[in-house]
A and B are shown apart, each in its own frame.
Chain A
């Protein structure tokens, strides 16, 4: 079972699907591990796994480092608040919070618009707008 869960979590983590949430679900719902312990295991699991996938993503030139820089200061502030909260609320409540997040994001993912198609549509409408502006300039 460790093999299957490890593989699935690794695949999901490397594709940027919210890391090893599969691992947390498995540990808490099936292996009877406390939520906070499962979260720690997931963190330890994620670091080497992510490092390997980052090397491959970097080779494929998929990482936008510039965009990252802006996110880091806020991210660190959020972590300080988040870890403080996680150690000051009961682990059962923490798990319910986690499940609520899953419901919210899961629903959103199932009914999402295809972003690639959406982007091309946006580009098309932008082109149409510029053409219209050009026409107006010509006529004036």
Chain B
């Protein structure tokens, strides 16, 4: 039951924000005893499935701008290769703290806008 509920929360975030499912999925997977690197990789697989579903529903709601996305995708793919390589090497704890700081800065920016 707990597992299903966790799935619902990830889906809710993914559908509502078009992202953020991974933010919930990683700590969730870690709390079920999977080591951090595997949790991160597994969350990408889970969010990929969720994002496919969300993209279809956005497509039906006519909320997609393909041209804008196309400008970023080639560089995103290069970044994905770099990121997947680093996931094997970099200590996770430092990364998570850096990531947290970036998130807080972004949130403050939005509220001050």
Contacts and interface: CB of A to CB of B under 8 A. Distances in A.
B56 to A, nearest CB: 9
Chain A's interface size range is: 35 or more
Interface residues of B, number: 94
Interface in B33-83: 33-55, 57-58, 61, 63-66, 68-69, 71-83
Contacts, number: 375
Specify the main secondary structure of chain A where it touches its partner: helix
A52 interface: yes
A122 to B, nearest CB: 9
Given A78-B7, A115-B36, A52 B15 contact: no
A13 B14 contact: no
A140 to B, nearest CB: 32
Nearest to A7: B79
Contact of A10 (B50, B77, B100, B111): B77
Given A11-B79, A110-B97, A79 B54 contact: yes
Given A2-B72, A67-B29, A114-B93, A42 B44 contact: no
Contact of A49 (B43, B76, B107): B76
Interface in B1-41: 3-23, 25-27, 29-30, 32-41
Contacts of A86: 15-18
A19 B72 contact: no
Given A63-B38, A98-B110, A115-B30, A42 B18 contact: yes
Contact of A54 (B48, B54, B102): B48
Given A16-B42, A45-B69, A47-B48, 18 more contacts: A9-B72, A14-B44, A14-B87, A15-B40, A25-B106, A29-B106, A42-B18, A49-B80, A53-B83, A67-B29, A82-B14, A83-B61, A86-B15, A96-B110, A99-B110, A101-B23, A105-B23, A110-B100
12 contacts: A10-B76, A15-B40, A17-B95, A19-B21, A24-B18, A40-B58, A43-B19, A49-B73, A73-B7, A78-B7, A83-B58, A108-B27
Interface of B: 3-23, 25-27, 29-30, 32-55, 57-58, 61, 63-66, 68-69, 71-88, 92-93, 95-97, 99-104, 106-107, 109-111, 113
